[in-house]
Amino acid sequence: MKNNKIVLGISGGVDSTTAALLLLEKGFDVYGMYFNIHEGNEGERKEAYGALREAYDSYEKKQAAETSPNSDKHQSSKTYFSDDKFIYKDASHEFKDIVMSDFCCEYKLGKTPNPCVICNPNIKFRLLKETADALDAPYIATGHYARTVYDDKSDTYYISAIESKKDQSYMLYRLPSEIIKRLILPLAEFADKEDVRNIARENGFSSAEKSDSQEICFIENGKDYVDFIKDFDSSCKIKEGNFIDKDGNILGHHKGLVNYTIGQRKGLGIALGHPVFITNIDNENNTVTLGDNEELFKSSVYVEDLFFTETGSAALPEQIQTKNLTAKVRYAAPRAAAEIAAFDAEQGILTVRFQTPQRAMTPGQSLVIYDGDIILGGGRIQKSL
């Protein structure tokens, strides 16, 4: 008998709950894995368990209706769900050491990190793989809006974008081919999240109207980044410094680099009689440069901490410079035509040049490189030129 076990990352949200139902309907034996990032957070664990149970209950009712000649009165004797289908992992300590620590360190350096990019390969998908291996399950799954593809020329499995406003391929660019090979993304076929919600409504899922999770999952609603960083690291001393212009002239005083990001206009606490934006943050000199919007547009960027799917490392794939590439400089940015201008293998620094200048390329954010819809890899922005 074919092994159809699959381990799905389950959170209790509408995406993962609907994904569970879709996988069941495709014939998979679904195990839901919930990993906790907050010590003692029993509420979210119960939500995740309840979501998996709802998906199984809905599937069981559909199976009963299909097999019973009088489905309103007859109940199927088969039970599909059991408690062993739900797997709990306490990842709170390693999440703190890997994801939260990186987040705080980057912000203190005046950078703007994306914690999901760190979490996905180092926590979420690693735990999914380990759990699947322990269960002898060939497959893993999540509720991400993206798809997987296989290229026989390079013998590599890639993450690919989908035509959807919810496309989340950018967040998955650091996954290695051996993980993608086992990955099934049941929401890849949906261009509109409302279609996913409609499935949830039709099946009476409690998550059907649940709002999307907040941008930073480990920061409580109403709490800002600065307060979180102070609480996380009590030794953190936020040092005030100078706002300057591009010529180095002092314009005023800032409240510490952690409060700012490239492209920011609001909340600067300084009035110059005309709109100004943050165009540079200099950790070494503790300065924040202000300028016009036009100064935010740059054509080239240095990228570090590289990862490419084909090589599974920072090594550049052989044919990448011959391809017609596009790149994204943040999750919400459109893809734009780009080329590999230079690669310093010793330093691990890639120079990417865009055909048209890009706005506010921010240190710490990820630059992700696409060949058509396929993600080749990327890295963290070090500096724009």
> What is the rounded distance in angstroms from the CA atom of residue 253 to the CA atom of residue 260?
13
C-alpha 34 chain-centroid distance: 17
Report the pLDDT value the prediction gives residue 201, as an integer from 0 to 100. Answer: 97
114-140 burial, b at 16+ Cβ within 10 Å, e below that, comes to bbbbbbbbbbbbbbbbebbeebebebb
User: In this model, does residue 225 exceed pLDDT 60?
Assistant: yes
- pLDDT recorded at residue 73: 46
pLDDT averaged over every residue in the chain: 93
Whole-number pLDDT of residue 70: 59
Which residue's entry shows tokens 């409580």? 220
Q: Please confirm, yes or no, whether 116 is among the known catalytic residues.
A: no
Tell me what pLDDT residue 344 has: 96
- At a CB cut-off of 8 Å and minimum separation 6, what does 307 contact? 173, 174, 313, 314, 377, 378, 379
Q: Rounded to whole angstroms, how far apart are CA atoms 253 and 258? A: 14
Task: Check 104, 105, 116, 217 and give the catalytic one.
Answer: 217
Over residues 207-224, mean pLDDT: 81
Q: Calculate what percentage of the chain has a pLDDT beyond 90.
A: 84
Establish whether 104 is a catalytic residue: no
What six digits make up the tokens of 16? 């993962």
pLDDT at 204 over 70: yes
Reported as a pLDDT band with limits 50, 70 and 90, residue 74 is very low
Q: Is the pLDDT of residue 99 over 70?
A: yes
pLDDT of residue 72: 52
List the single range of 31-40, 134-143, 164-173, 239-248 with lowest mean pLDDT: 31-40
Catalytically annotated residue among 104, 105, 116, 119: 119
